[in-house]
A and B are shown apart, each in its own frame.
Chain A
Amino acid sequence: KQEVTQIPAALSVPEGENLVLNCSFTDSAIYNLQWFRQDPGKGLTSLLLIQSSQREQTSGRLNASLDKSSGRSTLYIAASQPGDSATYLCAVSSVGTGNQFYFGTGTSLTVIP
């Protein structure tokens, strides 16, 4: 069964700092990997999706990379802002069990003004 881990569980940084969130998965046979953010009391908002054939995706200040062979993905946030404070989750869709996405437990990010 696919297992997804996110480290650290919580992160606090001053405004303006660049930061990296980590996601690892145990089975490299995936269709894609998706990064989400979740604000308190809300659902998940999709940030970036990387197909298994891709190495990275960029959207604004966000850049996600994928190293499928090592089972790792990183989400890079440039010039962090207080509005980036949220929980960030990654999820993978595995070959053979494509009916469900496997989620990590998330990294809670606080950007201090």
Chain B
Amino acid sequence: GAGVSQSPSNKVTEKGKDVELRCDPISGHTALYWYRQSLGQGLEFLIYFQGNSAPDKSGLPSDRFSAERTGGSVSTLTIQRTQQEDSAVYLCASSLSGGGHSPLHFGNGTRLTVT
């Protein structure tokens, strides 16, 4: 596709359930980022993938959060045992190359609501 695709666009889940969020980056983009945007706050970095290198997980807020990227393309962000404070918009971005040298292209995000 022409842009970064995220699914689902909206997710409502009960506290304690696990959720999976999906990101399809732009074809050929080697770098992939996950960010979280909470109401009234800036974007919070979560995790970064670059090619086949080990991901930078320094932004993950707890061990309930994990992410993988299969075949250097599609990425899945998993949140286990969701809490109400996990409610936010989760944004995925990709760029042609990593290291912060190329512009970011964002998807429309997944709005997660934990009840």
Contacts and interface: CB of A to CB of B under 8 A. Distances in A.
Interface of chain A, main secondary structure: strand
A12 B114 CA distance: 34
Contact of B45 (A36, A101, A106): A101
Contacts of B59: 100
A31 B99 contact: yes
Interface string B85-115: 0000001010000111101111111010000
Interface string A62-78: 00000000000000000
A66 to B, nearest CB: 14
A34 B43 CA distance: 14
Given A44-B91, A106-B42, A101 B106 contact: no
A61 interface: no
Contact of B50 (A32, A34, A43, A99): A99
Contact of A100 (B33, B42, B105): B33
Interface residues of A, number: 26
B106 A99 contact: no
B109 A101 contact: no
Interface residues of B, number: 27
Given A99-B56, A100-B45, A106-B42, A46 B103 contact: yes
B48 interface: yes
Given A44-B91, A104-B42, A99 B107 contact: no
B45 to A, nearest CB: 4
A32 B100 contact: yes
A100 B45 CA distance: 7
Contacts of B35: 103
A98 B42 contact: no
A42 B101 contact: no
B70 interface: no
6 contacts: A32-B100, A41-B108, A43-B106, A44-B104, A93-B101, A99-B50
Interface of A: 4, 31-32, 34, 36, 41-46, 49, 89, 91, 93-94, 97-106
Interface of B: 4, 6, 33, 35, 41-43, 45, 48, 50, 56, 58-59, 91, 93, 98-101, 103-109, 111
